[in-house]
Structure 1
Amino acid sequence: MKNKDPKANFGIELDESIQIDGVSATATKFGESFRGIFRWQQSFFKLVWKQAIIYYIIYVSITLFYSFALDSGNQANFDAITSYLARYTSSLPVVLLLGFFTSTALNRWFSIMASMPGTNRPIALYVASLKEDAADGCARVDLYIRYVLLMWLLTFRIVCKPLRKRYPSLMSIQAAGFLRDHERLLLEKHKEQPGGSSKTFPLVVYDWLNILLRDTCQKGYFSVANDFGRNIDAIQVLKKGGGNVIKFASKNVPVALIQAVTLAIYCYGVVSVLSHQIEKHYLTSVLSGYFPLPYALPFFFYYAWLKVGRIAIDPFGSDEDDIDILNIFDCHINGAMRLRNCYGVKITIPSTDRSAFSLS
């Protein structure tokens, strides 16, 4: 196992998920609130710029067609059609559908985030529980760390495409150091059994962890008797968190809801681009015919709202706003290596006068 990213966080897990580069967390200074408006990465503009170009080309084409290709009679017919469409623009339940869709998607996203298990707690608990004078203590710590990381990796490979791309097979996982040859053969044999599949690989590793903890307890390597139960509880929490993530990721938002809200947004866009009025006054005709700001703004706010919901549906994808599972896994590796180095280390406690102690 190697540290994939030396700059990854060593302490707090998921630290980078709460940081937004270039956007101030507070707005105490004048103009701080406007810094995020002109940000391109992960921005509203990046979501809609392609659709904005297409919208503008269609909009201006209709204006040119109206001004130069239609006679007065056909222009009157066109005006009647646009007036008819304009009356029904507000009748589309866009806000209702978008609100329900995005709230459902974001609630599901937050549930997945809250369910994501960490590896630091079970590893730290095992390292702290194991006696320092255990004959094979270092080997047991290494084995336990590898099994915990392997269980986490196999769990999130089920739901995360970038992680499957980095580790496409058991051979690649073995090459990365998380598997041994005989362990890979056991997993492949399990897959061939009735009911076995790659989705149940984490449960096999969970069984290995239980066996390792039981063997550690039977040999009396735990500092106190209660450590066995505490370590069992820790890996059960890891197992439950991984199961919840798979459950939320596999039970997707209904396709009918996605289709309904997408159809409503695009229908609103088509109606808005066709229903603009060509004003008879020259100044207003130029403004409304070639600069469709009043008609385009509502559509693109709705469209960006839709894109946010679509991004939240699959939080483990490769979009900029998706959860960076690769970085999180690198943080778990770095944290595990740090905890591994803590086993057997003793701290020298100097004799210090209480009155001389101070911090600043």
Structure 2
Amino acid sequence: MTVTYSFDAVTNTWLGGIRILLRWKGSIWKIIFKEMTFWVLLYMMINVTINLCTTYHQDMFRIVRDSIKRGSPGLPHIFILGFFMNVVFNRWVGIFPKMGFVDHFGLVLVSAIKGSDAESRLLRRTIIRYTVLAQALVFRDISIPVRKRFPNLASLVDAGLMTDDELCVFEAKETENVNYWMPYQWGIRLIDKAFEDGIITNQIIAWNVATKMREFRDTLASIMCYDWVPVPIAYPQIVFIGVRVYLLALVIQRQQLAEDVELPVEGGYLAWLFHFPIMTFVETLLLVGWTKVAESMLNPFGSGDDDYECSYILDRNLSVGYTIVDNPVYPRPDEPDPFWHMAIPKPFDVFDPKSTLKQQPYHGSVADLHLRSRENPSFGGTLRRRSQMSRISVKSGNPENTVAGNMSMDGVKNGPPTPSTHRTRLASFTNDAIHNVRMNRLDSVTEEHSNGPKQDKTP
């Protein structure tokens, strides 16, 4: 039921936008057609009635119209509708990743239960069927199309998702809640049996398969929570009331009487054309469309054009799951790949050797920026490079590991060169000693800068 238009929007052109606007299925025109017809007819009825009334009634209508016009700007309908749309859209986007696709679990299952014998195949296929069965039990309670497809548990047996014996076991378990968990319990039992029989050779592998099944179950539990706890009903109610009250006020306050407007034409259809409020129609169109979009996204499990394809997901999971776990065939890497002798392989252009595709590898946004080193005048008189080695307590315990001479903050020696006989290796300093050097230098520079330049007190 989901309407796809990705091909029409593949490029940002005006023709693609027109193609999207001309669509009918799932479009804004389809969902607002009936309500827009109602508001247009209501406006025309009020306009014709008022223009046919007496002068006294027209004066009374002007008083009511002006009063509504003064109070309408204070209605917070835009704020309420915008916040409601944000809540509904985030909820709608967050539901779909929780729908559950069996691909990941099927790949883990086929890597754990190996073998092409009948017993291994039966185990893999049965576990996949139990997984899809649990999903069908959840979907038939939250989705209208799935409920129509599987109206009762016997229909699941007819569809092949459940056997007669499994149906008897399922119905024999009497609980206050729905037994969504029972197919997972059966699947976990089969995984344990496979480990006991030696089909799964490692307990960690068996635990991993059970964990993936539990993760698939968690996604369906999230779907149940979304259906169980919807948006508080007071919120859609206040949005419905606020928008419709504003539209009713809009229909009244935008009415034009024949005596109020000086038309450039006299009589005929052109006179009525000048009476039609075009901007009022556009404003009503946007408000009704915005509200209808929010209301249609409130529950994506219905039968609308843009609701989720729950029935298709069940069919797809069963088909793909069986395809993954039933007799998988793997290619043997007997020959080297075409890029075997390439140091930096690049894909070949199959259709056009001179491909015109734009290729722009990553390049840092400031990688080409060259900065000139300039001296900061505020620190020119205070950043004096002097030796701090006298403050260092070398933890190595060797008194010879002392370097004489001045050192800057970046570790570069300044001043007159030290004779080679007095030089020692910096590698003998421990990490703590180097850290103390840097911290002492930073403290001295900060202290000098805070005290300011020394003043000469000599008269």
1:43 aligns with 2:27: yes
1:137 to partner: Cα distance: 0.9
1:288 to partner: Cα distance: 5.6
1:194 to partner: Cα distance: 3.8
* 2:272 match: 286
* 1:302 match: 287
Q: For 1:340, which of 325, 334, 353 is the aligned residue? A: 325
Written as runs of structure 1 = structure 2, the 5 A alignment for 1:55-94 is: 55-67=39-51, 69-94=52-77
SS at match of 1:178: coil
1:23 to partner: Cα distance: 3.2
CA separation in 1, counterparts of 2:209 and 2:261? 78
Q: Are the counterparts in 2 of residues 59 and 292 from structure 1 also a CA contact under 8 Å? A: no
Q: For 2:148, which of 145, 158, 165 is the aligned residue? A: 165
For 1:255, the aligned partner's letter is I
1:149 to partner: Cα distance: 1.0
CA separation in 1, counterparts of 2:264 and 2:148? 56
Contiguous gaps of at least 5 residues in structure 2: 266-270, 351-459
Q: 1:266 to 1:276 in 2, by over 3 A?
A: same
Higher helix share: 1
* Ranges of 4+ aligned residues in structure 1 off by more than 6 Å: none
1:100-135, CA deviations, whole angstroms, 9 ceiling, x for partnerless residues? 211111222122123222211112211121121656
CA separation in 1, counterparts of 2:272 and 2:118? 86
1:352 to partner: Cα distance: 4.9
SS at match of 1:319: coil
Contiguous gaps of at least 5 residues in structure 1: 1-15
Q: 1:222 to 1:61 in 2, by over 3 A?
A: same
1:282 to partner: Cα distance: 2.3
Q: 1:351 to 1:112 in 2, by over 3 A?
A: closer
1:54-101, CA deviations, whole angstroms, 9 ceiling, x for partnerless residues? 22222112221122x212222222122111111122221111110121
* 2:244 match: 266
Q: Are the counterparts in 2 of residues 22 and 36 from structure 1 also a CA contact under 8 Å? A: no
1:235 aligns with 2:213: yes
1:17 to partner: Cα distance: 6.0
* 1:12 match: none
* 1:10 match: none
Moved more, 291-300 or 18-27: 18-27
CA separation in 2, counterparts of 1:168 and 1:236? 27
For 1:43, the aligned partner's letter is S
Moved more, 141-150 or 210-219: 141-150
CA separation in 2, counterparts of 1:161 and 1:145? 24
Q: 1:22 to 1:272 in 2, by over 3 A?
A: farther
1:30 to partner: Cα distance: 4.6
Moved more, 88-97 or 295-304: 295-304
Written as runs of structure 1 = structure 2, the 5 A alignment for 1:138-287 is: 138-190=121-173, 193-195=174-176, 197=177, 199-200=178-179, 202-278=180-256, 279-283=260-264, 286-287=272-273
1:179 to partner: Cα distance: 0.4
Q: Are the counterparts in 2 of residues 159 and 316 from structure 1 also a CA contact under 8 Å? A: yes
Q: Are the counterparts in 2 of residues 22 and 35 from structure 1 also a CA contact under 8 Å? A: no
1:303 to partner: Cα distance: 1.8
Q: 1:17 to 1:54 in 2, by over 3 A?
A: closer
Q: 1:82 to 1:120 in 2, by over 3 A?
A: same
Q: Are the counterparts in 1 of residues 192 and 206 from structure 2 also a CA contact under 8 Å? A: yes
CA separation in 2, counterparts of 1:162 and 1:249? 15
- TM-score scaled to structure 2, two decimals? 0.68
Q: For 1:124, which of 91, 107, 110 is the aligned residue? A: 107
Q: Are the counterparts in 1 of residues 133 and 162 from structure 2 also a CA contact under 8 Å? A: yes
**Which entry has the higher C-alpha Rg, 1 or 2?**
2
For 2:147, the aligned partner's letter is R
For 2:89, the aligned partner's letter is L
1:287 to partner: Cα distance: 4.3
Q: Are the counterparts in 1 of residues 184 and 213 from structure 2 also a CA contact under 8 Å? A: yes
Q: Are the counterparts in 1 of residues 121 and 327 from structure 2 also a CA contact under 8 Å? A: no
1:283-323, CA deviations, whole angstroms, 9 ceiling, x for partnerless residues? 5973463x232223222312221111212211110011111
Q: Are the counterparts in 1 of residues 114 and 199 from structure 2 also a CA contact under 8 Å? A: yes
* 1:3 match: none
Q: 1:100 to 1:171 in 2, by over 3 A?
A: same
Identity of aligned residues (%): 22
Number of equivalences: 336
- Cα root mean square deviation, aligned: 2.4
Moved more, 223-232 or 265-274: 223-232
1:317 aligns with 2:286: no
Moved more, 133-142 or 349-358: 349-358
Q: Are the counterparts in 1 of residues 132 and 318 from structure 2 also a CA contact under 8 Å? A: yes
For 2:64, the aligned partner's letter is I
For 1:325, the aligned partner's letter is C
CA separation in 1, counterparts of 2:63 and 2:4? 52
1:32 aligns with 2:10: no
